[in-house]
Amino acid sequence: MIIAIIGILVGVLLGYFIPINISGAFSIYLSVAILAAIDSLFGGIRGNLEGKFDSVIFVSGFFGNSILALSLAYIGDQLGVPLYYAAIFVFGTRLFQNFSIIRRYMFKRM
């Protein structure tokens, strides 16, 4: 668990100090991919708290969800239909569900 926290902190610090400019055309793709990655991260934390964490499932879900979300956004962009809303809805819902379960586990441990 401490390795994950250190990894998150290093990633945030790198993102803060290394300026990368993303054009507006790719902002939808990046936001959907970040949302999918955060959803996978919260799912991994939840799995760890439940004692069901599997690193293969976590890594495949992390990259698979991000690629699926990017694909939905790209196909929707090509068709002129905002399909990225589906990814935002699903990953946003799961993110809040996982956060509420993590919060309950943390309060039960106190």
Cα distance between residue 81 and residue 65, in whole Å: 20
Contacts of 39 (CB under 8 A, 6+ apart): 65, 91, 94, 95, 98
Give yes or no for a contact between 73 and 87, defined as CB atoms under 8 angstroms apart: yes
* Residue-range definition of the domain harbouring residue 37: 24-109
Residue 85 in any domain: the answer is yes
Residue 18 in any domain: the answer is no
Enter the pTM of the model: 0.76
pLDDT tens sequence for the chain (110 residues): 688 789 889 988 998 899 888 888 888 888 898 898 889 989 998 998 888 988 899 899 889 988 988 888 899 989 999 888 888 898 889 999 999 999 998 888 77
| pLDDT computed for residue 96 by the predictor | 93
| pLDDT computed for residue 79 by the predictor | 92
Residue 2 in any domain: the answer is no
